[in-house]
Amino acid sequence: MSDLKRILYVDDEPSVSQVAILVLQKIGGFEVLACTSGQEALDQAEAFQPDLLLLDVMMPEMDGPATLKKLRALPVAADVPVIFMTGQTRSEEVVALKALGAIDVIAKPFDPTRLPDQVRSAWQEGTG
């Protein structure tokens, strides 16, 4: 598997997104395409060619799992590793998200200083 460079990040919360984007780009050195909805992610995925999908679970219209299902139907995202971010981190929720193919589940609120390392570590474990 290639190096982790491009993250397709989907979250409808502007305040959360701004922090995540900032730390992923500035601290992590990643190229991040931020989308505010599942549909926007579907529209942008092919042109962006992501190495990783970082999806919020709770979103209006199309939640994270539904977004993942539709992204998986696109050749460009069929095998791209996914990490979910959620405030629902009871063990049964985490198990359910991992059953959908997630390589990790990151709890919200997240620690901005740790987010790039969490993403990189999950990527290495999930693709190695």
User: Any idea which fold 6-127 has?
Assistant: Rossmann fold (3.40.50)
Task: Report pLDDT for 89.
Answer: 82
How would you write the pLDDT of the chain (128 residues) with one tens digit per residue?
469 999 999 999 999 999 999 999 999 999 999 999 999 999 999 999 999 999 999 999 999 999 999 999 999 999 999 999 998 888 999 999 999 999 999 999 999 999 999 999 999 998 87
Task: Report pLDDT for 74.
Answer: 97
Q: Which two tokens stand for residue 27?
A: 């601290």
Inter-residue contact 45 to 8 (CB < 8 Å)? yes
pTM over 0.85: yes
CA distance 81 to 62: 19
> Per-domain residue ranges for the chain?
6-127
Task: Report pLDDT for 128.
Answer: 75
Residues 6 or more apart whose Cβ sits within 8 Å of residue 70: 38, 42, 62
Inter-residue contact 98 to 105 (CB < 8 Å)? yes
